Amino acid sequence: MTNPIPSIALVGNPNAGKSSLFNALTGARQKIANYPGVTVERKAGHASFADGRPISLIDLPGTYSLTPASLDEAVTRDVILGKQVGERRPDAMIVVVDAANLDNHLCFALELLALGLPTVVALNMLDLAERDGLTLDPARLSRELGVPVVPTVAVRKRGLPELLAAIDGAIQSHQPREAAAAPPNDAALHQRARAIARAATVDETPVRRWTQRVDQVVLHPVGGLILLVTLMFVMFQAVFSWATPFADGLEGLVGVMQSWVVDTFPANFLRDLVVEGLLAGVGAVVVFLPQILILFLFILLLEASGYMARAAFLMDGLMGKVGLSGRGFIPLLSSFACAVPGIMATRAIPDEKDRLTTILIAPLMTCSARMPVYTLIIGAFIPAQKVGGTPIGLQGLVLFGLFLSGIVGALLVALILRRSVTKGNATGFMMEMPRYQWPRAGDIVIALWQRAWIFLRRAGTIIAATTVILWLLLSFPKVPEDSALSQVEYSVGGRIASGLEVLVAPIGFNHDIAVALIPAMAAREVAVSAMATANAIDAGDDEEKMAEQLGERLQGKWSLATALAFLAWFVFAPQCISTIAITRRETNGWKWPLFMVGYLFVLAYAAAGITYWTAVAFGLG
Amino acid sequence: MTALLDRAPLGVAVRIARIDWTAMSDDEGRRLREFGLMEGCEVTPRHRGSIFSRDPLALTIGRMQVIIRAKQAAAIEVEAISGETGAA
């Protein structure tokens, strides 16, 4: 072998529990990147054999066969066949099959075995199969397949040492052999798979599965939808109420750090940069970490429990009406966390036009980067009271309304696009509905940690950099003592913003907003840090003013109509370079990202304008 | 007696008699076969649509639940399984 560290690929059907097995084998020692040239996520990690020899593991996207139907399935095929650019062909495979669904999963396993690589089959989720009344004979299955079969329960870390020992053995004892012929056609393959599954099944007690009773409620034509809307509603209420104590704590911490720097160091350029630029700007964004994590927690739990596919089923009827499919629901729901992974998740949509439309409307889903803006403005302008004696908070309700506007806007845009620029046949919708599963805390923690890390890294790099640049632009030249203008208005940045203000004044935007809009192109949450920086500069060394929270300061300066128009703008505005960049990569050109930016700006301007004019007409100006 | 799967009553197991592969794209047909939907196998329609539409259709095949659209279901001819009501 040329490389001393054997590389082992985890392959299997979707819902075979591959990722759990991968997490159990590698723990937190994993790295997520992209395959070069394609946007499919490459999950790699390290583990070691019992005697300490290291191995590298890669987790390949789940697929049903070696004939790919979508981009990520193509990556699985190419890696296994050694055709993927920049990826060594794996030395061995762990084929992961769901013990309770052998009939189906053995089809792909047989195809993989025919390739002739050293292979071990992980008979995964054996506990769930037993719960369903199945008794299996792994030794018999091993004889039928001609490779070692190791029973595993990834979520309880059962069978892992045995699995690693078996793969070690398979690599050591492997004789290069001609690839055996796979059964000639789909029907023969399925027959063979069913025959093997029957042979390996010792006993099958029909159990009236409770999951079917659950599905009677969850997939009920009316009840299921009510449940879905309720879940979404609870999710958005939770984002607001659960996060508050944590966010307040972080905010306090930033304040303490600012005071400490002010008290410790002499007043100079560097101190101002740190206090007004870095701490005010980055701090204003970091305090939203709790909210973003709560949102991700909900999405991850819905996904891991198997509910997400049910939601896709329920939404398919509605999405079909606007020319999309239920498949698009998962990328769109992920876009509530961030449009970038959401747009990447559209790769699972087989139909090209369906996929393109889903990409184009993904930025309308309220991503977590909008949360800082929404929370700041709602917190400052919407009273924290209950709606008419109910336990529903008005602030949460407004937030829910903003999310809803994004969704309704997205559906309308999809409807128009599917009748014009992305016209095409009605698309198909076929997907497997996974069984319900109790999400494993460890898997959720790993995924949450990865999201938190990405967010903090963004805050530390892009957001920190734009805040510093903005601070410089807003701090110079220094305003003369006798000027009626504030420092921010007098500065270079302030004058650029004054130019922009002419354009956005008709829709009720003031100078504060104009200052925030340009750097917010880098990332939406920078709108908040930009306003925080501008306010910190105006506050100068006045400790009392600095202690005043940003929201309170805005209350004094903005009318309610302006605040509402600002919220409406952010429902639609395409303000995030990462989203534009990922759209360019996913659509292979500039045509669609430019189209997206154009239509979103028009919508944002119109929505903010209509909101402002309506509010003014009702006397809120 | 045969009927089309998109009209088949919920909760009753039926056997697939014939699939009109020409009514769908190659990719759709292959995905159906990957799910195990082929002539001769048994399926049970479970859930159909929501208040928005009759689409899609969830069915049990073996130990798996899959979702397909009514359009594909309309290309699948099914027959009753003799002597059984198939409550499983």
Which tokens hold the place of A54? 């290291």
Cα–Cα dist A574/B66, whole Å: 36
- A50 part of contact set with chain B, CB < 8 Å: no
Which tokens hold the place of A106? 């053995």
Q: Which domains does chain B have, with CATH numbers?
A: 2-80 (2.30.30.90)
Cα–Cα dist A45/A284, whole Å: 34
- A313 part of contact set with chain B, CB < 8 Å: yes
- A543 part of contact set with chain B, CB < 8 Å: no
Which chain B residues are closer than 8 Å to A312 by Cβ?
A: 67
- A69 part of contact set with chain B, CB < 8 Å: yes
Which chain B residues are closer than 8 Å to A101 by Cβ?
A: 62-64
Average pLDDT over residues A54-62: 90
Q: Across the A/B interface, how many CB contacts are shorter than 8 Å?
A: 123
Q: What is the pLDDT of residues A76-103, one digit of tens each?
A: 999 999 888 878 889 999 999 999 889 8
Q: Phi/psi at A514 (nearest 5 deg)? A: -60, -40
Q: What is the pLDDT of residues A515-568, one digit of tens each?
A: 888 777 767 777 887 888 777 777 766 656 555 677 787 888 888 999 999 999
- A221 part of contact set with chain B, CB < 8 Å: yes
- Claim: this prediction has a pTM higher than 0.90: no
Asked if pLDDT for residue A610 goes beyond 50, the answer is yes
Which chain B residues are closer than 8 Å to A107 by Cβ?
A: 34, 36
- A70 part of contact set with chain B, CB < 8 Å: no
Query: Hey, are the CB atoms on B31 and A224 less than 8 Å from each other?
Result: no
User: Which among A518, A470, A483, A476 is positioned nearest to A497, based on CA atoms?
Assistant: A518
- A100 part of contact set with chain B, CB < 8 Å: yes
CB A423 within 8 A of CB A351: no
Nearest to A432 among B33, B48, B64 (CB): B64
CB A606 within 8 A of CB A552: no
Residue of B nearest to A186 (CA): B33
Which chain A residues are closer than 8 Å to B58 by Cβ?
A: 215, 219, 313, 433
Query: Hey, are the CB atoms on B63 and A101 less than 8 Å from each other?
Result: yes
State the average pLDDT for chain A: 83
Which chain B residues are closer than 8 Å to A100 by Cβ?
A: 63
Cα–Cα dist A102/A182, whole Å: 17
Query: Hey, are the CB atoms on B38 and A215 less than 8 Å from each other?
Result: no
Query: Hey, are the CB atoms on A430 and B65 less than 8 Å from each other?
Result: no
Nearest to A219 among B32, B53, B58 (CB): B58
CB A238 within 8 A of CB A291: no
Average pLDDT over residues A260-280: 83
pLDDT at site A152: 92
pLDDT at site A336: 80
Query: Hey, are the CB atoms on B52 and A428 less than 8 Å from each other?
Result: no
Asked if pLDDT for residue A346 goes beyond 70, the answer is yes
Q: What is the ipTM of this complex?
A: 0.90
- A443 part of contact set with chain B, CB < 8 Å: no
| pLDDT cut 70: percent of chain A above it | 92
pLDDT at site A2: 46
CB A571 within 8 A of CB A409: yes
Cα–Cα dist B84/A570, whole Å: 58
Cα–Cα dist A416/A396, whole Å: 30
The alpha carbon of residue A83 is apart from the nearest alpha carbon of chain B, in Å, by 22
- A322 part of contact set with chain B, CB < 8 Å: no
Which tokens hold the place of A128? 């769930």
Query: Hey, are the CB atoms on A326 and B47 less than 8 Å from each other?
Result: no
Query: Hey, are the CB atoms on B56 and A100 less than 8 Å from each other?
Result: no
Mutation pick from A349, A433, A436, A437 vs chain B, by most beta carbons of B within 10 Å, is A433
- A431 part of contact set with chain B, CB < 8 Å: yes
Q: What is the pLDDT of residues A470-526, one digit of tens each?
A: 778 878 777 777 777 777 778 888 888 888 888 888 998 988 888 888 777 767 777
| pLDDT cut 90: percent of chain A above it | 22
Segments of chain B scoring below 70 in pLDDT: 1, 83-88
In whole angstroms, how far apart are CA A335 and each of A342, A353, A513? 4, 19, 25
Which chain B residues are closer than 8 Å to A204 by Cβ?
A: none
Q: How far apart are the first and last CA of chain B?
A: 21
pLDDT at site A12: 93
In whole angstroms, how far apart are CA A443 and each of A22, A59, A300, A333, A447? 10, 14, 9, 20, 6
Say which CATH architecture domain A7-207 belongs to. 3-Layer(aba) Sandwich (3.40)
Query: Hey, are the CB atoms on B50 and A224 less than 8 Å from each other?
Result: yes
Q: What is the pLDDT of residues A25-51, one digit of tens each?
A: 988 677 766 665 555 667 888 888 888
Q: What is the pLDDT of residues A286-329, one digit of tens each?
A: 777 787 788 788 888 888 888 988 998 998 888 888 888 888 88
Residues of B with CB under 8 A from a CB of A: 24-25, 27-28, 30-36, 38-39, 46-56, 58, 62-69, 71-72, 88
pLDDT at site A585: 76
Q: How does residue A123 score in pLDDT terms, banded at 50, 70 and 90?
A: very high
Nearest to B53 among A64, A317, A435 (CB): A317
pLDDT at site B86: 43
Query: Hey, are the CB atoms on B69 and A429 less than 8 Å from each other?
Result: yes
Q: What is the pLDDT of residues A154-169, one digit of tens each?
A: 878 889 999 999 999 9
Residue of A nearest to B69 (CA): A429
Q: Pick the residue with more confidence: A342 or A419?
A: A419
pLDDT at site A1: 45
Kindly give the pairing relationship between strand A41-48 and strand A54-59.
Answer: antiparallel
Give the position of tokens 């990957």: B34
Q: Which amino acid is at A209?
A: R
